[in-house]
Structure 1
Amino acid sequence: MFIQPEWQYKQENGSAMHQWIKQKENPLPNDVDIILYGALLSYSSKPSQKALYPTAFRKAWPSFQSYNLDEQVDLRSLAVVDVGDVAIHETDRMLSESAIEAAAENLSTTYSKSFTCLIGGDHAITACSLRGIKNAFPKDRIGIIQIDTHLDARNQEEIGLAMDSPIQQLIAAGVVEGKHVYNVGLHGFFNSPEMIHYAKEQGIHMITLKQMRRDGIQLTIREMLRQLMYEVDRIYVSVDLDALDIIFAPDVPAATPGGLTAYELFDILKLIGENEGVRHIDFVYADPKEGDLRPETVKMGVTAFLQWLTGIRLDYRNRISKKGNAMIR
């Protein structure tokens, strides 16, 4: 089901990211807080071309330390385990999507108390991952927070399998309800009237970047999480890096002017990490159409991932503090 990642490290003690994140097949469930895995499915029309980002993501680890100076937390207290990449088919995209679905189901079942994090690849993996999670928890209502410039809800019947229809796929299959989908970061001239009509018809919550900045990003994200916690059993977050302004993500093909700043994305992910209802996350769509990924884009994605972990660590710390105060009383 999984293959060893192209970029691996010797297991040793230390504070650099490649030292405290463990790369291990089949870890024991009680030894894992966060399960990390990759999917090499690429948006490229060439079936044999694999996604570059999961490998580049791991390759950048030695550049990052475990300590978040801004929040004064050390992430080494979190047990993060990288189990490798989903073994996708070299030429058959449908088999590859089925493999990602099966992997997500297996991890969600085996590590039911852990957070799962998927590194991609194109946005099709979001639909695959969520189908697998639904298979693992068929009775659970699932909510989606999609951080994206685009709605990604094109009619699949018209375009066939494509990276920009995962939300439509999931709603059509009954995996999620439109009213449980929150799309944040929308802006500009990048969604068709037909797609906007579909989103309204399905009850998708469209939160524009302009609206979020006007109302306050922290207030908007906290209210969205509060509402979803009331409506669903588990929350899935999909981080499409094209939500960033193009100056922050130069290798992301669909990045646009006027998107999120790096600081805004980092703040959003910290807030999301602080909410224990968010059990699953993915980071997708960083691959360039040609050439290699530049360090700027890779480091942006790694920092976003670490900000999410920071939120989880802060949540753990706050809960321990509250428990201690309750015992004192």
Structure 2
Amino acid sequence: MNLRHLKPAGQAIFNDRHTTKVKELLTPWREGINHDFGLVGAPLSKPSISHSGAAQAPGAIRAALQSYSTYSAETGIEFTDQIIDFGDLNMHPTDIQGSQHRIYEGLADVYATDAAKYWMVLGGDHSISYSSIKAYAADKTIGVIQFDAHHDLRNTEDGGPTNGTPFRRLLEDGIINGINLVQLGIRDFTNARAYHQYADDNGVSVYTMKDVDDQGIMAILEKEIERLSGRVDEIYMSVDIDVLDQAFAPGCPAIGPGGMDSRTLLQGVRFAAVNPLVNVMDIVEIDPTMDFRNMTSRVAAYVMLEFMKAKRV
């Protein structure tokens, strides 16, 4: 029987012969296949201090890629190469630290495939960055550019390895050096004095939102990347979406006023990613269950596009 006017579920609502959506570039990994971009999800949010459904973010961000075409009118670039999608790491239903270790082991395996030149990791809450950076830094000295409203330097004695502790743990475990960590967008009335002092004591470069407003995101990044370039082998970029003002990211567990606008974040990501030392990025702290019209997941998908565009310029 010939069934008319049907299409497979999940395909684009409208098909235009001249338009390709970014989501169509996602392709499962197969051994021996190499492309420029690799993608993996780390769907963990149980270590979050506040209620969070960020475990659902990798799927929501992938779905948001359907909102964007593969053509950049600003540059004339057309994305045609496939994005290798390794899927999501499997989390333990109750063991938080076990899940964090799974992320470390799983990403170590993924990075070791050398299947991509550039990597994008989709969290999950910010606790996943500890595992990802630890895996990536196994054989190299790593610098970190952290877009964030928070220091994420909380102690582990009061709550274990939460989403507020990843950079404290990285410093204490000797995985990164404090002078190789740059924090951008730290927001007023959002952190404790003790953690700001801890950052100062460990040589962390901290730029508040006032610094970003006064100096400009690209001027700060230019200075810090130049400084890091003489000290590290590569730079890991960690994008906590709560660096954005709540008007631009309603789907964040820790929303608040006074943050970046989305254009500033996108400019910063693109500017940093142009540098050949910046080859890996994670995007964290999106809760699709709290989002409005997928606004926050769409920002995250656009962050991916700016990262990819920077590597094509």
- For residues 282-301 of structure 1, what are the structure 2 equivalents within 5 Å? 282-287=282-287, 291=290, 294-301=293-300
Cα pair 2:246 2:259 within 8 Å, conserved:
yes
Compare 60-69 and 105-114 and name the one that shifted more. 105-114
SS at match of 1:153: coil
Aligned to 1:52: 56
Contact 1:9 1:18 in 2 (8 A): no
Per-residue deviation, 1:157: 2.3
Letter matched to residue 63 of structure 2: K
**One-letter amino acid of the counterpart of residue 100, structure 2:** E
* Alpha-carbon distance, 1:127 to partner: 0.2
Give the drift of 1:59.
1.5
Match of residue 177 from structure 1: 177
Report the CA distance between 1:112 and its aligned residue: 7.1
Distance in 1 between residues matched to 2:90 and 2:130, nearest whole Å? 17
AA paired with 1:147?
F
Give the share of equivalent positions with the same residue, in percent.
29
Unmatched segments (≥5 aa) in structure 2? 1-8, 13-17
Q: Which residue of 1 aligns with 2:312?
A: 313
Amino acid at match of 1:18: K
Deviation at 1:270, TM superposition (A): 0.8
Amino acid at match of 1:304: V
Kept after mapping to 1: 8 A contact 2:252/2:291? no
CA distance in 2, matches of 1:47, 1:95: 20
1:120 aligns with 2:123: yes
Offset, 1:276 = 1.2
The C-alpha deviation readout for 1:148-195, integer Å capped at 9, x for no partner, is 011000111232121110000000111001110000111211110000
Q: Does 1:203 align with 2:203?
A: yes
TM-score after normalising by structure 2: 0.89
Deviation at 1:132, TM superposition (A): 1.3
Residue matched to 1:100? 103
- The residue type equivalent to 1:15 in the other structure is T
- In the TM superposition, what is the alpha-carbon distance from 1:213 to its structure 2 partner? 2.4
Give distance in 1, aligned partners of 2:278 and 2:54: 29
1:2-151 mapped onto 2 (5 Å cutoff): 15-19=20-24, 21-28=25-32, 31-43=34-46, 51-76=55-80, 78-111=81-114, 114-135=117-138, 137=139, 140-151=140-151
1:224 maps to which residue?
A: 224
Counterpart of 2:72 in structure 1: which amino acid? N
Provide closer, same or farther for how the CA distance between residues 45 and 201 of structure 1 changes in structure 2, counting only shifts above 3 A: closer
5+ residue gaps in structure 1? 1-6, 315-329
Note the alpha carbon deviations across 1:283-312, whole angstroms, 9 max, x for none.
000016x55664111111111111111111
Q: Does 1:274 align with 2:274?
A: yes
Question: Is 1:234 aligned to 2:237, yes or no?
Answer: no
2:91 touches 2:99 (CA, 8 Å); kept in 1?
A: yes
Q: Read off the aligned partner of 1:22 and give its amino acid letter.
A: L
RMSD: 2.5
By how many angstroms is 1:225 displaced?
A: 1.2
- Please give the alpha-carbon distance, in whole angstroms, between the structure 2 residues aligned to 1:120 and 1:185: 19
Distance apart, 1:114 and its partner CA: 1.5
Using the size of structure 1 for normalisation, the TM-score is: 0.85
Alpha-carbon distance in structure 2 between the residues aligned to 1:169 and 1:204: 14
State the 1:210 CA deviation. 1.6
Task: Report the counterpart of residue 159 of structure 2 in structure 1.
Answer: 159
Separation in 2 of the partners of 1:218 and 1:71? 19
Question: Structure 1 residues 310, 93: CA separation in 2 closer, same or farther (over 3 Å shift)?
Answer: same
CA contact (8 A) 2:250 2:292 kept: no
Counterpart of 1:127, as a letter, is: Y
SS in 2 for 1:99: helix
- Tell me how far apart the structure 2 counterparts of residues 113 and 228 of structure 1 sit (CA, whole Å): 23
TM-aligned CA distance change 1:232 to 1:46, over 3 Å: closer
**C-alpha spacing 1:106/1:213, structure 2 compared with 1 (3 Å):** same
Larger RCO, structure (CA 8 Å, separation 6 or more): 2
Shift of 1:134: 2.5
